Chains A and B, each alone.
Chain A
């Protein structure tokens, strides 16, 4: 039976007087991949940045409504705690340039001043790099700085870094849009396996990608949630006309 890990309830967000997201409500199911798709400017990036409370960093950021993680409103908890439970991978890979690959994976702990035994650190590094499908390629170069890695490898390093914190949910903001097709394929295959350990929420403007990898999909348009449901249904027989138009390429 599927359990609900995140519930977005009547949630709106914006900047100053402009609302980007309007009254969004849907659930995210545990250990499933949920895709958020829609044309540019529909608010999908804003939504995902609200979930790990990064939206607040933007000047004039406002929001209303609730986002419940395991039943608890994330706006009633310390944002630092929220961000440690909900990891994020960005569009452009951003490993820390001054740290080695080893330290990069552990950066969530290092930067937060959390000390661990070497054994524990090794275990986390190997585990995270394996889960991110990067272990074989870097195991002989762990102490080198990450800048020699290719774009796809750097992105997998960022995924490993996020996974090392053992988050409940992993947010991915168009993670493959700056990568070559081969890296894109690798990361898509990764998603399938990641599902077993973590709940995945991925933003994408690529309909084919959303169709390929997601179990559930939410379609956003101009800040409204147009339709949400199991991918099998949405991509074969959507209920809303706008969804149908988007999927058949009439706009976006």
Chain B
């Protein structure tokens, strides 16, 4: 009864997570390949779909809580699904932000060859992918490991910031483009943070332990 319902919701969440991952992946691809139609598709089609999915999953969770008053592991599972649901929607929003800045950038000449941003994107997407794997497999070890990698992404963002500052100081005409590049980096960093949130939630779901707000554990 409740088991079937939880299975249904988990499936929907996996569908949602795959969509989000694709959005982020495609937004960077669109930037690198200068493919504006891909970027527009994300904004016009994918993002509304994520909003719809978020509401749908939220409603299912509320109904399940009202109907079954779940306890213990079922309770943790449902609450964490609600949170992951929320995080996925925010990641979608960040992907949209990336697309908007990408659409601006691909019309104009590059400020610099894009090396760090793709690198950051690769790390971020890897983190997201692993956090979703941790969720599907209910694997707390993978989850904890992902949390440790957040530092790398943060460092990359700081590096990009420093580099872009030098460009902006030396040539003011690059400011607007640099700010958009920075925005993309910020959004990638936020996506990485949200992935660690997902991992903390997975650990709570599986082990009942709270590992939030700890530097590295």
Note whether A and B contact each other (Cβ less than 8 A): yes
A-side interface residues toward B, CB under 8 Å?
188-189, 192, 208, 211-212, 231-232, 235-236
Please tell me which stretch of B45-53, B64-72, B208-216 contacts chain A, meaning at least 4 of its Cβ atoms lie within 8 angstroms of it. Answer: B64-72
Would you give 20 A-B contacts (Cβ < 8 Å), ordered by A? A188-B1, A189-B1, A192-B1, A208-B69, A211-B66, A211-B67, A211-B68, A211-B69, A212-B1, A212-B67, A212-B68, A231-B67, A232-B63, A232-B66, A232-B67, A235-B66, A235-B67, A236-B62, A236-B63, A236-B66
- The answer for the CA separation of A176 and B62 in the assembled complex, in Å, is 27
> What is the number of residues of chain B that contact chain A, defined by CB distance less than 8 Å?
7
Query: Chain A residue with minimal CB distance to B63?
Result: A232
How would you classify the secondary structure of chain B's contact residues: helix, strand, loop or mixed?
Answer: helix
Task: Find the B residue at minimum CB distance from A188.
Answer: B1
Task: Specify which of B1, B62, B63, B66 lies most central, judged by the most chain A CB atoms within 10 Å of its CB.
Answer: B66
What residues on B are CB-neighbors of A235 within 8 Å? 66-67
Total A-B residue contacts, Cβ distance less than 8 Å: 20
On B, residues with C-beta under 8 Å from A are 1, 62-63, 66-69
Nearest chain A CB to B22's CB is how many angstroms away?
31
Cα distance A46–B165 when bound, in Å?
Answer: 80
Residue of A nearest to B62 (CB): A236
The CA of A236 and the CA of B67, in the complex, are separated in Å by 9
Q: How far is the CA of A211 from the CA of B1 in the complex (A)?
A: 12
- Nearest residue in B to A236 (C-beta to C-beta)? B66
User: What A residues does B62 contact at CB under 8 A?
Assistant: 236
What CA separation (Å) do A189 and B4 show in the bound complex?
A: 12
Contacts of B66 in A (CB 8 A): 211, 232, 235-236
Please measure, in the bound complex, the distance between the C-alpha atom of A188 and the C-alpha atom of B1, giving whole angstroms.
10
CB-CB nearest in chain A for B2: A212
**Chain B residues with CB below 8 A from A188, complex form:** 1
Most B Cβ at <10 Å: residue of A192, A231, A235? A235
Q: Which residue of B lies closest to A207 (CB)?
A: B69
Chain B residues positioned under 8 Å from A212 (CB to CB): 1, 67-68
Instruction: Add 4 more A-B contacts to A211-B68, A212-B67, A236-B62 (CB < 8 A).
Output: A212-B1, A232-B63, A232-B66, A235-B66
Q: Which residue of A lies closest to B67 (CB)?
A: A211
Q: Residues of B contacting A192 with CB < 8 Å?
A: 1
